[in-house]
Chain A
């Protein structure tokens, strides 16, 4: 049995280095390059972490739905695992969005939360919807049914995310600042900083997604290997070759 092979997925190290470099560059740009906002001052710098996290979290939910479609189409369980990890990570990013947004709101509006603002409430609804995903998933013991029902949930909820986003954009009330709009309301240096921060958030999501998938894949392989060893006769005979990966490298 080979144990010397690395337990991280292919390309994970390169991805992690690229993420670290991009996030460092984003940090330097945010605190040493981007000018202070004339209206909001230094508090506006929260947006360089809050907005990229929100965009990546929402895209992660949609990606989870697309992977779930692939699972139902092909029956390949590795797609269900990819979908699960994408949604799990998006929920964690969502926690970051809600906390950083509340910190900004407390300083700018004087309240941690404003219930009549569509952007905030709609994001909370999406977040709470996905918080039901894990209890639903782990309430089902049978792994095949668990994967199938979780995929159906991921597709339905994933379709709700863009609909919800468009509905909010069409809402009349606009207390919540719009960072991205057709009029291009960010000056060049702020836009560059924002784009680097967004790239950093995307890379961070991909790195953590791959890391968790690698961990889950290794755990699954280990479980199967242990089962094979337990099933093998105790005569010291050499076990069979290690099981092939589930499809996630």
Chain B
């Protein structure tokens, strides 16, 4: 399979699958960063009443 993918057509196939992987990866990273931001804000809110005198 490695030899097949090393051919000219194989490089096109690899490029297509890399595009697919990159799309999914970028999407997941964006959503994960949003969830991390929500979590940070939630923790900040949770600590807020404790800081008040």
A-side residues, CB < 8 A to B, are 1, 3, 7, 31-32, 36, 41-43, 45-46, 49-50, 53, 92, 95-96, 99-100, 103-104, 106-107, 204, 208, 211-212, 214-215, 218-219, 222, 225-226, 229, 234, 236, 238-239
Contacts and interface: CB of A to CB of B under 8 A. Distances in A.
28 contacts: A1-B45, A1-B46, A7-B38, A7-B39, A42-B4, A42-B5, A42-B7, A43-B12, A45-B13, A46-B12, A49-B16, A95-B23, A96-B19, A96-B20, A100-B16, A100-B20, A103-B15, A104-B16, A107-B12, A208-B31, A211-B28, A211-B31, A214-B35, A218-B35, A222-B38, A226-B41, A226-B45, A234-B52
B16 A46 contact: yes
Nearest to B7: A42
B24 to A, nearest CB: 7
Contacts of A229: 45, 48
B35 A104 contact: no
A46 B42 contact: no
Contact of A208 (B13, B27, B42, B48): B27
Interface in B1-53: 1, 4-5, 7-10, 12-13, 15-17, 19-20, 23-24, 27-28, 31, 34-35, 38-39, 41-43, 45-46, 48-49, 52-53
Leading 9 A-B pairs by shortest Cβ distance: A100-B16, A43-B9, A107-B12, A236-B52, A46-B16, A103-B16, A42-B9, A3-B46, A99-B19
Given A92-B23, A222-B41, A106 B12 contact: yes
Contacts, number: 83
Given A1-B45, A3-B43, A100 B19 contact: yes
Contacts of A214: 35
B interface majority secondary structure: helix
Given A43-B13, A103-B15, A238-B49, A215 B34 contact: yes
A204 B23 CA distance: 12
A interface majority secondary structure: helix
Contacts of A107: 8-9, 12
Contacts of A32: 1
Given A96-B19, A107-B9, A215-B34, 13 more contacts: A43-B13, A100-B16, A100-B20, A103-B16, A104-B16, A204-B24, A208-B27, A208-B31, A218-B35, A218-B38, A222-B42, A225-B45, A238-B49
Contacts of B1: 31-32
Nearest to B41: A222
A236 B17 CA distance: 55
